[in-house]
Structure 1
Amino acid sequence: MSERVNVSFFQELMNSIAEQSRALLPKALFGAGGGESIEVLSRALMSGRGEASGVAIARQLLIQLKKAAAEERLQFYRFLADELQPDAALLADAARDYLDHPSDKTLAVLQNAAYSPRMEFFRRLNLAPGATGEIVALRADLVRHLKSDDTLAAVDRDLQRLLTSWFNRGFLVLRRIDWQTPAAILEKIIEYEAVHEIRGWDDLRRRLDPKDRRCFAFFHPSLVDEPLIFVEVALMREIPDTISAVLDAHRDDDDVPPTTAVFYSISNCQEGLKGISFGNFLLKQVVEDLVRDSQSLKTFVTLSPAPSFARWLDRVLAVEGDGGLSSDDRNVLAKLHDPRWVDDVLRDNGDAEEIRPILLSLAAQYFLVAKSADERPVDPVARFHLGNGARLERLNWLADTSERGLREAHGLMVNYRYELSEIERNHEAYAQDGTVAASRSVKSLLKSGSKVKALADAPDFLALPSARKPKRDRPPEAE
């Protein structure tokens, strides 16, 4: 509470400064009807004005950007890309001078010449009260334009670099989310959940049950009521192999303590922080907190989706004559196109059950063999957990029979295991040469000598889902 009061007091103080300083701004900043030009305000912000007037300009610029139409904001991003660049001539001279006379002095001159004016622009923009959240939202809007206008990539790189420093781990605060958490934050947890949709307040209450559920989120001091990322945990007595065992089941016997912590949903909350990783820090700190509160916990695993497996398999099947698949295998897998195939399996239809060994073998190849252009696993969730030092523990057949689970992965889900004594070794092996740590049971699913071609490029989505409730008619950005 004191943290929220302090931030509120500071913002009110900055608002007061901005209001008083606005009256001192030159009339040239104001257009007809009192409206300010975004470009004129941007140039004024970069001028050598005092701190107080800079706060007023930054505040007014953010107001104008918020009111601006999409095309106006796009023109603003192009202005940043075209005009706020290092001076090419000065940079070339400084580079030649450093190469001819390398020293701390010439290096400092080179570094100053190479420093992007856009970095300084956003630093000054952040002087306005409440600016950090507005800048994060601005980047979310910018990212949406990148595919259609690649000239904006340099702006995004500068902004991402700046946000990475503003949101580094030292500034983040881990808070447990429970039923006593302010309603405004709980509403955002419902909204931002991107893996297993929270269906209203009753569903959320079940997921926050203090008996066998935990939820933790990272916050930033400048965004007190905005979670950056959160993880949902189920405390169980065994490693689950279906999502229903996690979402629907609750422990009844309080006398038997839980032994297994299951991370079943990790959601990024801010699209504007795309590409800035918080998940590895979050999981490590949550494990520490869980162990401190419940010493009976010995096993730490996830129950994770495989969001691009079905698409990868479609590409594999589209290649005629692939040596890894026989014609019989292809005929069996063709049954996946029948939406009733799961019903047949659940009714113990022997023909449909033939899919299981073939699908699991292909899934093992998907995780252990298929690589993207950077020689890392194709699956975005696997890249995240393996990069954090987890082990690929188990592939679970028909673990998620929801419409989305079947569409994205034919029902497949994965357990990644965080073995505390192996995390550092697994992380180093993965970082150095892409080694995938996997259990013997997963490796045994690979057919001897059989490898389908690694057809898939790296999926263009993150390892963690991002902001806002995802549209249910298209794949989310993964776990």
Structure 2
Amino acid sequence: MTILGDLLSTIFERRYLAAALDKPDSRSMEELITALVGATGEITGLSAANHILKRYQAMDDAEKLSFFRHLASDMNIDPDKVRNTLDAYEKNPSKQSYRAFMTAVEPDRQELIRRLNQTPGATEILVRMRADLLALGKDDPTLQALDQDFRHLFVSWFNRGFLVLRPISWESPAHILEKIIAYESVHEIASWEDLRHRLVPDDRRCFAFFHPTMPDEPLIFVEVALTGDIPGSIQDLLTDEREIIAADAAKTAVFYSISNCQAGLAGISFGNSLIKQVASDLAAELPGLRSFVTLSPIPGLTKWLDAENIAFEGVDTKQLRVLAAYYLMSAKRSDGQPLDPVARFHLGNGAMIHAVHAVADTSPKGRAQSAGVMVNYLYDLPKVAQNHERFATTQEVAASGEIRNLNAVAKKQDLQRPEPEQESA
């Protein structure tokens, strides 16, 4: 009878909850927000959250912007309260004074986002909400502060412990495959047949991270080619006319495309964990693998060359490789980090710059962003942690002897930004 009673209780609770969520609510959005943050009952809170999310999804951009500005201004911290509680904690450190300070420094909108997330299916909506915020509020400092609250919560909700690694194959559900085609951001997948060539052969793999609350939405995925040697051309790697090899005959795993799928998770890093997990899994599956490398674009190369007034049109392939090596090793931001975003990512993961290749990406995009040059980043698994530590602490760029030699050649050519011309008096 206890089991039957529990079952009947669950059924009645779900029916009551469904009825409460579907019940119309005439309160304004601001009133619903206040009610949700102050709710003490589970059903009343879920009902308010459900109405807020439904109304948000029906808003146009102007209404969304108004919603975000309400959260940014009316649900912000109280600076005076923060100062007073901090003073109280400094004078008398205790559990109570610390709790008061922590309550003061957390804006009410963080609790609002948490409570919204208690609604079934809310996580995916909140991710899309942050994507809207990033698009609509990129030039508004107050909205950028609101984004920090989203990011703070998402870092916890989407940490590695919650992520599930799943292989993507030709047998994966069609709605997942459609999203792989849509989200591919490095090398366009032109058709279903093109996707088939990347998934079906024995020397091809694809893996994606998913979150339990978003089982039908990949967060990030990586495409892998199993090869004999380290490749130097994306067109050779992806051509339909290549010779397919058996997976257990491969010596190299090539990560040739990594695509983030959710704009609302910008700044939440998954790639580091993804590459290392996939490399570990492949090493266990295929003990014959000796090298784990990328074949990566250099998206900032031509922009940097233009900014430096360095002519690169018509130069030979050796000089292109010299320019690319210098850019990757020596072109820095003001904080000492490499200019190139892909370089920052892989070097920060503990990879090393292994080789650069001219005429490696002849697509219009490849020519436009990097004059057709591509780079291999090598993940030497026993040295990844050491490389990461050196890069993080001293910004030392790990690179092969070949890359260091090319960089030295560039320095002899004095590839520096020219001094601006002085205006005549």
Residues 320, 373 of structure 2: 8 Å contact kept = no
Residues 18, 53 of structure 1: 8 Å contact kept = no
Measured at CA, do residues 242 and 21 of structure 1 come closer, stay the same or move farther in structure 2, by a change above 3 Å? Answer: same
- Structure 1: which 5+ runs fail to align? 1-11, 31-35, 318-324, 337-351, 456-479
1:321 is matched with none
Task: Tell me, in whole angstroms, the C-alpha distance in 2 between the residues paired with 1:246 and 1:13.
Answer: 58
1:444 aligned counterpart, secondary structure: helix
For the pair 1:50 / 2:41, whether they are aligned, the reply is yes
- Structure 2: which 5+ runs fail to align? 1-10, 419-425
Task: Tell me, in whole angstroms, the C-alpha distance in 1 between the residues paired with 2:14 and 2:268.
Answer: 29
For the pair 1:102 / 2:101, whether they are aligned, the reply is no
Aligned partner of 2:298 among 303, 306, 310: 306
- Deviation, 1:297, is 0.6
- Deviation, 1:424, is 0.8
2:264 is matched with 272
Residues 352, 387 of structure 2: 8 Å contact kept = yes
Residues 222, 259 of structure 2: 8 Å contact kept = yes
Residues 215, 231 of structure 1: 8 Å contact kept = yes
For the pair 1:394 / 2:393, whether they are aligned, the reply is no
1:458 is matched with none
1:281-360 aligned at under 5 Å gives the runs 281-317=273-309, 330=311, 333=312, 336=313, 352=314, 354-360=315-321
2:203 is matched with 212
For the pair 1:372 / 2:333, whether they are aligned, the reply is yes
- The residue identity in structure 1 corresponding to 2:54 is I
Aligned partner of 1:414 among 364, 375, 381: 375
Task: Tell me, in whole angstroms, the C-alpha distance in 1 between the residues paired with 2:16 and 2:135.
Answer: 34
- Deviation, 1:90, is 2.3
Task: Tell me, in whole angstroms, the C-alpha distance in 2 between the residues paired with 1:172 and 1:80.
Answer: 29
1:83 is matched with 74
- Deviation, 1:450, is 4.4
Please give the TM-score of this superposition, normalised by the length of structure 2.
Answer: 0.91
1:435 is matched with 396
Output one character per residue of 1:322-371: Cα deviation in whole Å (capped at 9) or x when no partner: xxx7xxxx4xx3xx2xxxxxxxxxxxxxxx4x433332222122111111
Task: Tell me, in whole angstroms, the C-alpha distance in 2 between the residues paired with 1:94 and 1:416.
Answer: 49
1:422 aligned counterpart, secondary structure: helix
1:159 is matched with 150
Measured at CA, do residues 253 and 106 of structure 1 come closer, stay the same or move farther in structure 2, by a change above 3 Å? Answer: closer
Measured at CA, do residues 360 and 151 of structure 1 come closer, stay the same or move farther in structure 2, by a change above 3 Å? Answer: same
Moved more, 260-269 or 96-105: 96-105
Output one character per residue of 1:257-316: Cα deviation in whole Å (capped at 9) or x when no partner: 000000000000000000000001101110111111111111100000001111011000
2:127 aligned counterpart, secondary structure: helix
Q: CA RMSD in A?
A: 2.1
1:56 aligned counterpart, secondary structure: helix
Output one character per residue of 1:221-253: Cα deviation in whole Å (capped at 9) or x when no partner: 000110000000000000000001211154445
Residues 218, 228 of structure 1: 8 Å contact kept = yes
Task: Tell me, in whole angstroms, the C-alpha distance in 1 between the residues paired with 2:110 and 2:247.
Answer: 57
- Deviation, 1:103, is 3.6
The one of the two structures with greater contact order (alpha-carbon pairs below 8 A, sep at least 6) is: 1
1:150-229 aligned at under 5 Å gives the runs 150-229=141-220
For the pair 1:148 / 2:139, whether they are aligned, the reply is yes
Residues 14, 128 of structure 1: 8 Å contact kept = no
2:136 aligned counterpart, secondary structure: coil
Measured at CA, do residues 125 and 13 of structure 1 come closer, stay the same or move farther in structure 2, by a change above 3 Å? Answer: farther
Task: Tell me, in whole angstroms, the C-alpha distance in 1 between the residues paired with 2:346 and 2:156.
Answer: 23
Identical aligned pairs, as a percentage?
A: 45
- Deviation, 1:195, is 0.4
Measured at CA, do residues 154 and 410 of structure 1 come closer, stay the same or move farther in structure 2, by a change above 3 Å? Answer: same
- Deviation, 1:454, is 6.5
Residues 72, 142 of structure 2: 8 Å contact kept = yes
2:62 is matched with 71
2:19 is matched with 20
Aligned length: 405
1:234 aligned counterpart, secondary structure: strand
Measured at CA, do residues 254 and 20 of structure 1 come closer, stay the same or move farther in structure 2, by a change above 3 Å? Answer: closer
Output one character per residue of 1:41-63: Cα deviation in whole Å (capped at 9) or x when no partner: 22221223411111111111111
Measured at CA, do residues 118 and 433 of structure 1 come closer, stay the same or move farther in structure 2, by a change above 3 Å? Answer: same
Task: Tell me, in whole angstroms, the C-alpha distance in 1 between the residues paired with 2:353 and 2:139.
Answer: 37
Measured at CA, do residues 449 and 101 of structure 1 come closer, stay the same or move farther in structure 2, by a change above 3 Å? Answer: farther
2:221 aligned counterpart, secondary structure: strand
- Deviation, 1:210, is 4.3
Measured at CA, do residues 111 and 398 of structure 1 come closer, stay the same or move farther in structure 2, by a change above 3 Å? Answer: same
Task: Tell me, in whole angstroms, the C-alpha distance in 1 between the residues paired with 2:187 and 2:22.
Answer: 50
Residues 262, 302 of structure 1: 8 Å contact kept = yes
2:206 aligned counterpart, secondary structure: strand
Measured at CA, do residues 111 and 289 of structure 1 come closer, stay the same or move farther in structure 2, by a change above 3 Å? Answer: same
- The residue identity in structure 2 corresponding to 1:21 is A
Task: Tell me, in whole angstroms, the C-alpha distance in 1 between the residues paired with 2:229 and 2:201.
Answer: 19
Task: Tell me, in whole angstroms, the C-alpha distance in 2 between the residues paired with 1:179 and 1:266.
Answer: 18
- The residue identity in structure 2 corresponding to 1:316 is E
Task: Tell me, in whole angstroms, the C-alpha distance in 1 between the residues paired with 2:258 and 2:138.
Answer: 26
Residues 347, 398 of structure 2: 8 Å contact kept = yes
Residues 236, 251 of structure 1: 8 Å contact kept = no
Residues 248, 286 of structure 2: 8 Å contact kept = no
Residues 203, 247 of structure 2: 8 Å contact kept = no
Task: Tell me, in whole angstroms, the C-alpha distance in 2 between the residues paired with 1:228 and 1:385.
Answer: 18
- Deviation, 1:101, is 2.2
Task: Tell me, in whole angstroms, the C-alpha distance in 1 between the residues paired with 2:392 and 2:283.
Answer: 27
2:415 is matched with 452
- Deviation, 1:13, is 9.9
Measured at CA, do residues 160 and 285 of structure 1 come closer, stay the same or move farther in structure 2, by a change above 3 Å? Answer: same
